[in-house]
């Protein structure tokens, strides 16, 4: 179905086609896989969607760390379901990216060789059970804020994948908040564990929305193309405004001495973000970058015989059917 | 790197009485595996009672570049719609 890869800009017709493309975007007509699109739009989307997919896949690792040690059978079932969802999200997104003419193998290779990026948040370790709660509450909470606008983005397959993902993310966020709630209202030790998790996950979560608008040169083009509907800072503010009161309800303290409510703007204001740390982790020097890449590479290599066996089995049976 | 398994388009019937609807795609070595993967990927929350899988390469589609010309014949035939006809005042059940 998604076989026709755009032939690029035919001489003399490029501007005309691009004008028609922009005009359709203005009328909020979605772009579908075989439609003509500017090469830069295609490339940007492949990068954005595949990075998003990689983030879902690598995102299974920090939480997977706690599946065998969840504190009850119910928590274990919930966590298994959540991690399975993350795998599903990765697959929806890889499929959406493939409609743009890239192959699954190329994307997997880009991840495994370190050529492609994934969300930096997953390069932080999950040291205690409370981290599982903090990830659901904060990381999935931030992801929802990022992703809900994308259900209206201009590229049809991406928008449709985001609809499915957002539905499932709200389960993720609530189960995380539920873990935090139980700990925050438990013994003093459990409460301290919840506070410690918030202390470690707060700033990386705030950074998840990416560099400040002043340092994001691609914002304008992506917004023109309607594959980004709000700026990084707008989304970040929304996250802060929605999360600070939740922390108060949990009885936990946001680790920011400068945090204050601005009556005039009706928004919370936070202290300075340590972008040095952000760029250090993006560049590969976070606490777990190497471990995550190693785990993904091992999983891929250890699974090679399964992929080969399944392909051989399918080929053998197809040959038998042809012979009948 | 391995060769990609073929791509399959997945159609799910959400309940009897409704048509199968395209929900996305996935890779699988054969049709049986495509069905099982589709169950795990697209019906984790009671979304379906029946699944169809079709190899993506077996689908023939209209060409979006030609769609204006292709669908043009139906564009100027407003008389095919009931709303084309004015119903005289007082006439009922029409």
Tokens of A323: 């012979």
Where do the structural domains in chain B lie, given as residue ranges? 7-62
CB-based contact A105 B4, cutoff 8 Å: yes
Superfamily of domain B7-62: Phenylacetic acid degradation B (3.10.20.520)
Give the whole-number percent of chain B exceeding pLDDT 70.
97
Tens digits of residue pLDDT in A213-229: 998 877 889 999 999 99
Q: What pLDDT score was predicted for residue A14? A: 61
* Closest-approach residue (CA) in chain B for A113: B1
Q: Is A36 on the interface with B (CB under 8 A)?
A: yes
A159 at B interface, C-beta within 8 A:
no
Of A127-131, A310-314, B1-5, the poorest mean pLDDT is in: B1-5
Residue B1 has its nearest CB partner, among A4, A105, A157, at A105
Q: Pick the residue from chain B with its C-alpha nearest to A161.
A: B24
Q: Is A318 on the interface with B (CB under 8 A)?
A: yes
CA nearest neighbour of B6 among B73, B53, B68: B53
| Cβ-defined contact of B33 to A109 (cutoff 8 Å) | no
The pTM of the full predicted model, rounded to 2 decimals, is 0.91
The average confidence (pLDDT) of chain A is 93
Alpha helices in chain A (DSSP H): 14-26, 39-58, 60-64, 73-98, 104-112, 129-134, 140-147, 156-184, 188-207, 219-224, 232-250, 275-280, 289-302, 304-323
C-alpha to C-alpha distance for B58 and B37, rounded to whole angstroms: 19
Cβ partners under 8 Å of residue A192, min gap 6: none
Query: For residue A13, what pLDDT is reported?
Result: 53
């Amino acid at each position: 179905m998604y076989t026709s890869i755009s032939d690029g800009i035919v001489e003399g017709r490029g501007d005309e086609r691009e004008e028609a493309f922009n005009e359709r975007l203005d009328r909020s007509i979605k772009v579908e896989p075989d439609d003509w699109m500017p090469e830069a739009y295609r490339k940007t989307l492949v990068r954005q969607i595949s990075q998003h997919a990689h983030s879902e896949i690598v995102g299974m690792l920090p939480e997977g760390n706690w599946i065998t040690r969840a504190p009850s059978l119910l928590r274990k079932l919930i966590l298994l379901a959540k991690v399975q969802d993350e795998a599903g999200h990765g697959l929806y997104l890889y499929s959406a990216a493939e409609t743009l003419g890239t192959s699954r193998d190329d994307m997997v290779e880009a991840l495994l060789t370190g050529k492609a990026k994934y969300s930096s948040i997953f390069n932080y370790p999950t040291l205690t059970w409370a981290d599982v709660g903090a990830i659901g509450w904060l990381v999935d909470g931030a992801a929802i804020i990022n992703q809900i606008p994308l259900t209206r983005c201009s590229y049809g397959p991406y928008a449709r994948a985001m609809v499915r993902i957002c539905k499932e993310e709200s389960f993720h966020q609530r189960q995380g908040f539920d873990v935090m709630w139980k700990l925050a209202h438990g013994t003093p030790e459990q409460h301290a564990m919840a506070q410690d998790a918030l202390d470690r996950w707060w700033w990386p979560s705030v950074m998840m929305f990416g560099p400040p608008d002043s340092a994001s040169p691609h914002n304008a083009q992506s917004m023109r193309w309607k594959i980004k509907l709000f700026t990084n800072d707008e989304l970040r503010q929304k996250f802060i405004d929605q999360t600070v009161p939740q922390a108060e309800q949990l009885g936990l303290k946001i680790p920011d001495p400068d945090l204050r409510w601005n009556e005039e703007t009706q928004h919370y204001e936070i202290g300075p973000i340590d972008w040095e740390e952000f760029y250090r982790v993006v560049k590969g020097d976070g606490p777990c970058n190497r471990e995550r890449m190693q785990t993904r590479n091992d999983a891929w290599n250890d699974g090679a015989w399964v992929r080969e066996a399944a392909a051989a089995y399918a080929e053998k049976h197809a040959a038998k059917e042809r012979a009948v | 790197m391995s060769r990609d398994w073929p791509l399959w388009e997945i159609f799910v019937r959400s309940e009897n009485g409704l048509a199968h609807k395209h929900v996305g795609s996935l890779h699988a070595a054969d049709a049986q595996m495509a069905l099982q993967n589709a169950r795990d990927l697209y019906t984790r929350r009671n979304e379906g009672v029946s699944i169809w899988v079709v190899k993506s390469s077996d689908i023939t589609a209209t060409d979006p570049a030609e769609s204006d010309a292709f669908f043009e014949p139906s564009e100027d035939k407003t008389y095919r719609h009931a709303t084309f006809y004015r119903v005289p005042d007082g006439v009922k059940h029409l």
